[in-house]
Structure 1
Amino acid sequence: MPEPAINTGTYKLFPSPRNAHRTVFLHEVFVPHPYALVDLPSFRFKGKYSLFAAYRLADGKHGQLVTFELEAEARRFEREFSPD
């Protein structure tokens, strides 16, 4: 049975089944590419992270939301990630 959606007020989120942590962490990066492969383990982050399919409520944009425990890792992901 799929997990229910999470509504944060900003996003409607659907957790990735591959998440080790199913938490919405404080530091977020919205990836406006709903079908891009986001290979988070390849970044070798030190802190916790999670990935969600996302629907941004403000403008109806579909994408993915990556959340991070550590702000520095969110900034690194923003710099280094490029959609395939």
Structure 2
Amino acid sequence: MAEASITTGTYKLYPSPRNRVREIFLHEVFVPHPYAIVDPPSYDPRGRWSLFAAHRLADGKNGQLVTFELEADAQRFSSRFVPD
């Protein structure tokens, strides 16, 4: 059975079932809204992406972590994302 969570030095992550890949990419955006609808494909990423429910270890904050293969995709997401 696959692990249900992934722990990094910064986060405890729970992969979204919508992920095509279960990889943590270099460019990360933490969304401090655990119940907001985050739909990375709607932000037209050029590269691959992955989405995780996230628990930030430093301060115990829950949210979501979106990781992107390309820095431009992370910047586009950050500038356009508005929590619902």
Query: How does the TM-score come out when normalised to structure 2?
Result: 0.94
User: How far is 1:42 from its partner?
Assistant: 1.1
Unaligned runs of 5+ in 1: none
Is contact 1:3–1:15 with CA below 8 Å preserved after alignment?
no
Aligned length: 84
Post-superposition Cα deviations, 1:1-51, rounded to whole Å, max 9, x if no partner, equal: 774210011000000000011100000000000000001111121100000
Is contact 2:43–2:76 with CA below 8 Å preserved after alignment?
no
Alpha-carbon distance in structure 1 between the residues aligned to 2:72 and 2:55 = 25
Aligned to 1:8: 8
Unaligned runs of 5+ in 2: none
- What is the percent sequence identity of the aligned residues? 70
Q: Which amino acid aligns with 1:41?
A: P
Aligned to 2:70: 70
Alpha-carbon distance in structure 2 between the residues aligned to 1:63 and 1:26 = 18
Alpha-carbon distance in structure 1 between the residues aligned to 2:2 and 2:33 = 22
Alpha-carbon distance in structure 2 between the residues aligned to 1:40 and 1:28 = 12
